[in-house]
């Protein structure tokens, strides 16, 4: 009995010691966990402080950059297209090119005006020369017409008369191709731009200011009067 009691006490003592050791181990573990949490809190605190310092540094750097950009703004205004610095020599060369180009355009315009003016003067000179030649031909035509008026009826079929009529017709056809046209007068209203009144008659059968008779035929060249028609006008 004494031995069993001793063994029980010994077992209880070992159990208590074991329990005490487990308690100490748990306390040690809790202590370590607490220390770890404390260290983590300190690390987080340090990191927060570092982040604050970095943020402050970034804000200061941003403000400094903005200040530098403001200071550099006038310098950037001096830069050319696409942010490149303007080259005085290139700018001067471009101004010279623009000036020469403007002069060339002006000279081309002046030359074109000169060409048009010259062509117009040539046309006027040609028209003046043509009118001069036509004026010299018109008396010949007048003589042909006077001659035909004096031909007797029995001589109409004469070969000479027929030949003269053929020459007259050929001459009038060529003048017509040159745009030489006779002015219509008889029975038309008097037009001072086309007619030259040399006589006035009283004729109730005709209206007032109507051409009663054409004394000499007038002609135009390209719509311009070469010779006015000499006419007799009814009052």
SS3 142: helix
Mean pLDDT of the chain: 79
Mean pLDDT across the stretch 133-152? 92
Is residue 14 included in any domain, yes or no?
no
Dihedrals phi, psi of 80, to nearest 5 degrees? -90, -150
Is residue 102 included in any domain, yes or no?
yes
Same domain, 111 and 133: yes
Is residue 208 included in any domain, yes or no?
yes
Same domain, 220 and 174: no
For residue 40, the model assigns a pLDDT of 54
Give the whole-angstrom CA distance, residue 120 versus residue 131.
16
Q: What is the pLDDT of residues 189-217, one digit of tens each?
A: 999 999 999 998 888 788 888 999 999 99
- Cβ atoms of 230 and 216 closer than 8 Å: yes
Q: What is the pLDDT of residues 77-114, one digit of tens each?
A: 444 445 556 688 888 899 999 999 999 999 999 999 99
Q: How far is CA 191 from CA 199, 211, 212, in A?
A: 14, 9, 13
Same domain, 186 and 137: no
DSSP H or E stretch at residue 214? strand 210-216
Residue 102, domain extent = 95-178
DSSP H or E stretch at residue 200? strand 195-201
For residue 12, the model assigns a pLDDT of 62
Top-confidence residue, 221 or 37: 221
Task: Look at the block and give the residue holding tokens 């390209």.
Answer: 222
Q: How far is CA 55 from CA 40, 42, 63, 149, in A?
A: 22, 20, 12, 124
Backbone dihedral region for residue 83 (phi beyond 0: left; psi -120 to 50: alpha; all else: beta): left
Reported confidence tier of residue 156, pLDDT bands at 50, 70, 90: confident
Q: What is the pLDDT of residues 17-76, one digit of tens each?
A: 666 666 666 666 666 666 665 555 655 555 555 555 555 566 666 666 666 555 554 444
CATH number for the domain that contains residue 161:
3.90.20.20
* Number of structural domains found in the chain: 2
Same domain, 99 and 133: yes
- Cβ atoms of 235 and 208 closer than 8 Å: yes
Q: Which of 188, 165, 168 is nearest to 176 (CA)?
A: 168
Angle at 109 (CA atoms; ends 106, 113), nearest 5 degrees: 140
Same domain, 99 and 163: yes
Q: What is the pLDDT of residues 157-179, one digit of tens each?
A: 889 999 999 999 999 999 999 99
Q: Which of 220, 131, 141 is nearest to 179 (CA)?
A: 220
Top-confidence residue, 48 or 133: 133
CATH number for the domain that contains residue 196:
2.30.22.10
């Amino acid at each position: 009995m004494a031995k069993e009691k001793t063994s029980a006490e010994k077992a209880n003592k070992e159990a208590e010691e074991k329990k005490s050791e487990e308690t100490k181990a748990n306390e040690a573990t809790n202590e370590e966990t607490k220390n770890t949490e404390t260290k983590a809190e300190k690390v987080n605190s340090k990191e927060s402080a570092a982040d604050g310092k970095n943020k402050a540094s970034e804000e200061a750097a941003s403000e400094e950059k903005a200040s530098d950009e403001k200071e550099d703004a006038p310098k950037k205004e001096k830069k050319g297209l696409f942010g490149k610095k303007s080259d005085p020599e290139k700018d001067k060369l471009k101004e010279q090119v623009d000036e020469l180009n403007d002069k060339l355009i002006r000279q081309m315009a002046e030359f074109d005006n000169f060409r048009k003016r010259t062509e117009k003067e040539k046309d006027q000179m040609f028209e003046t020369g043509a009118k001069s030649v036509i004026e010299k031909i018109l008396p010949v035509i007048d003589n042909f017409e006077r001659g035909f008026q004096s031909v007797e009826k029995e001589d109409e079929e004469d070969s000479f008369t027929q030949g003269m009529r053929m020459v007259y017709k050929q001459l009038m056809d060529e003048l017509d191709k040159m745009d030489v046209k006779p002015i219509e007068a008889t029975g038309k209203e008097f037009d001072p731009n086309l007619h030259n009144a040399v006589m006035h008659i009283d004729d109730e059968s005709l209206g007032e200011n109507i051409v009663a008779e054409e004394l000499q035929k007038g002609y135009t060249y390209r719509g311009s009067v070469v010779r006015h028609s000499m006419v007799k006008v009814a009052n």
